[in-house]
Each structure stands twice: as C-alpha cells, then as structure tokens.
Structure 1
Amino acid sequence: MKNLLLTAALLFVGFTTFAQTAFEKAMTEKIAKVEDHKTPDEFTALANDFDRIGTKENTQWLPYYYAAFATIQKGRILMQSGKTSELDPVAADAEKYIAKAEALSPNNAELFILKKMTSGLRMMADPMSRYMQESPIAQQALAKAQELDPTNPRITLLQAEDAYFTPEQFGGSKAKGQELFKKAVDQFGTYQSKSSLDPKWGKGEAENFLSQK
C-alpha cells in the first residue's frame, strides 16, 4: 500500500511539473515574439494567443498581462501611423485583458503601468479634448504603481517619456527626460523580476532614447 501511495504521489508530482513546464514553454515562446512583431495584425494574433493560454490556465495573470501589452503595442503602432481613430477600441481591448489579470493578481504594479499606457492611448485619440480627463487618470495609475513597486524601471521609463515629450513651459524637457532614461537604465541593471516570465521590457527603449542627441 505504501508503495502504491508513493507511486501515485510521484505521478501527481510528475504531472504537475509537466503542466507547469508546458505553460512556461508556451509563454516563453509567445513572449519572445512580442519584440519581433511589427504590424497591428501580428499583435492582434499574439494577444489572442495569450488570451487562449490564460483561459486554459485560468489561475495565471501573466497571459492576460501580455495580451494587454501586445494590444497596447498594437495601439502604439497605429498611433505612429496616424491612425488615431482606431485607438479607442484598442484601448478597450487592453482594458479588458487588464481586468482579467487584475482579478487574479490585485494590487500589481505591472498592471497599473499598463493602465497608464492604456490611458495614454485614449488621450492620443483626441489630445486636445481628452488631456484634462485622461492625464490625471494616467498619472494616478503611475503613482499607484510607484507606491507598490518603487524601484520598478518601467515606471521610470514612462516618467522619462512624459518629461521628454512635454514642453519646458509645462514642466518637461528633453534634458529631464534623458536624466530619467539614464535612471531607468541603471534600475534595469539591478531590478530583480519575480520569475522568468515576469515583464522585462523597457531597457532597450530607454537606451535608444539615451543614444539620441
């Protein structure tokens, strides 16, 4: 009987390890594609892939996090292409994924970072009329992220972008932005992610801004 119970326990452990490995393998493969993709359609497909992984696992917040992040990246490409009329539905999709992730991992700084980015997409859909509404929402989300995880370099990265693109008469400047990009790069050198699947993006973007004179 003891041998039978031991065998059953080992089988259970083996199955659990396999399931975790399969999840991590699928996530690792999809995460690697985030930086490779270049078009809105590619990011849409990737977000759908992450959503399916999340639905299958149903206890993991990271698939929904990356679904939201891929959707935000799609929005950034559309914004850079001048297709601002398409940003509202993209922001709505990102918020849907963030809500799913937040239900599994409340008070998560990484999700508040995404909330800040999503609010930025909504603002860029119509900057003149939405700045007063969306700017406080974005800043509150970033402040909450900083409260939860003060040394997170992605928070500093977003602060740097805000300063870099804000005119001096409104409190920003390229010089201030560059200082914060340097701080973000330094933070990336010491910041420890909680797992191999947790967010690590941002260092390359900070370094790219620093290389601009």
Structure 2
Amino acid sequence: MYKIAITIALFLTTMLQAQTTYESGMTKAFTLWEDGKMAEASNVFERIASAEKENWLPSYYAAQVLILDGFSILKEKEALDAQLKKAQVFVDAAASRSKDNAEIMVLQALLHTVYVASDGATYGMTLSGKINALYTKANQLTPGNPRVMLSKAEWDMGSARFFGQDTQPFCAQIEKSLQLFANFKPETAFDPNWGEDRAKQLTAACKAE
C-alpha cells in the first residue's frame, strides 16, 4: 500500500508539473504576442505543440499569430508567402489533432483571406469558394459560435464592398454576433475566446457610415 501511495503521489506530482509547464509556456507565448513579438510568440507555441502531442491549441495559436500578422505585410509578397506557408503547417497540425473543429476551420478561412487580401486577382477566384465552404461547415458544426458568425460576416462584407454592394446586411450579422459573444464560454482557459473587440469595432464603424 505504501509503495502504491508513493507511485500515485509521484504520478500526480508529474501531472501537476506538466500542467504548470504547459500553462506557464502558454502564458509566456500570449505575453510575447501582446508585446508585438510575433515570431517569438509563434516559436513558443510551436515548442509547446511539440511537447503536447494531443493538444491542438498550441498549433492553433502558432498559426493564428502568423496569420493575423500577415494582414500587416500584405505588400511584402515573398515574406508573406513564407509566413503563410509556415502558418499552414501549424493549421494542418491542429486539424490532425482535432477533427471537425469549427475554430480551426475559421482559422483556415482567415489564412485564405490573407491571400485574397494580398492579391485578389490571383487568389479571389480560387479561394473564395473554399472560404465560403469552410464557414458553412463551421456554422453547421457550431451554429452558436460567435467567431464563425463574425468572421463570415466580415468576409461577406469585404466581398460586398469589392463588388459595390450594400454591406448593411452583414453589419446586422456582426452586431448579432455580439449577443453570442456575451453568452459564449470557452471550454478551458486557453480555448479560443477572441473576436468580441473586433465585433464591437466593426459595429461602431457600421453605425458611423
């Protein structure tokens, strides 16, 4: 019994240490991201992903850092292409660890959107259908997910502006997503919980038009 107790204690200690390492690593990565150190943050998320073989979240965030940063370097073709290719590797890794995950589908759609934003003539025709399909499937999987509604509405709004169409129907969808954000509860402390600030920003912009 004594040996069993020691074994259990050692097991629990190891689990707690692993959890602490994971949590501290994720916190460090988010801090780097908040400080604008995109490459460093992505690298920390990547290292965590290497240790957390079954966890999709580190790969998800390693990709998200690079994808969102991609919007700031749209005109730097070679750098953007290299960054998005690296991000795609992380998206694929996250998807392999969590099948039919709406959050990952939104991320993949955002990656495609960066390509379209950088060169609509080249990527618009080939990726627009894929983006719409990703949002449709994500909505089927999690119809109450605010990031799905927000991201799809913002994509549709951008498309409407490009073709000179009315954007107000999509403004309404973005405002509606705020209701979903108000009631959304992530499963864990590190599960995706972003988007509400963006929804508020876009809603304010819609009302100012």
* TM-score scaled by length of structure 2: 0.90
Q: Does 1:108 align with 2:101?
A: yes
* Cα distance in 2 between the residues matched to 1:96 and 1:205: 26
Aligned AA for 1:6? A
* Cα distance in 1 between the residues matched to 2:131 and 2:151: 10
- Give the % identical residues: 27
Task: Identify the residue that residue 23 of structure 2 maps to in structure 1.
Answer: 24
Match of residue 67, structure 2, among 61, 69, 72: 72
The superposition leaves residues 5-48 of structure 1 with CA deviations (integer Å, 9 ceiling, x where unpaired) of 112212211211221122022213323443442xxxx2122111
Check 1:53–1:168 CA distance in 2 against 1; reply closer, same or farther (3 A cut). closer
Match of residue 46, structure 2, among 46, 51, 54: 51
Q: How does 1:138-157 map to 2 (within 5 A)?
A: 138-157=131-150
Give the conservation status (yes or no) of the 8 Å contact 2:42–2:66.
yes
Check 1:10–1:67 CA distance in 2 against 1; reply closer, same or farther (3 A cut). same
Q: Does 1:123 align with 2:122?
A: no
* Cα distance in 1 between the residues matched to 2:170 and 2:31: 28
- Partner of 2:194, secondary structure, is coil
More moved, 26-35 vs 128-137:
26-35
* Cα distance in 1 between the residues matched to 2:79 and 2:169: 31
Give the conservation status (yes or no) of the 8 Å contact 1:68–1:98.
yes
Check 1:32–1:150 CA distance in 2 against 1; reply closer, same or farther (3 A cut). farther
* Cα distance in 1 between the residues matched to 2:92 and 2:204: 36
Two-structure CA RMSD over aligned residues (Å) = 2.0
- Listed as ranges, the gaps of 5+ residues in structure 2 are none
The superposition leaves residues 152-179 of structure 1 with CA deviations (integer Å, 9 ceiling, x where unpaired) of 1111111221233233695853322321
Give the conservation status (yes or no) of the 8 Å contact 2:25–2:44.
no
The superposition leaves residues 92-139 of structure 1 with CA deviations (integer Å, 9 ceiling, x where unpaired) of 111100111111111111110111011112222321132111100111
Give the conservation status (yes or no) of the 8 Å contact 1:181–1:209.
yes
More moved, 163-172 vs 92-101:
163-172
Give the conservation status (yes or no) of the 8 Å contact 1:113–1:154.
yes
- Number of residue pairs matched by the alignment: 206
* Cα distance in 1 between the residues matched to 2:84 and 2:134: 15
Check 1:209–1:194 CA distance in 2 against 1; reply closer, same or farther (3 A cut). same
- Listed as ranges, the gaps of 5+ residues in structure 1 are none
* TM-score scaled by length of structure 1: 0.88
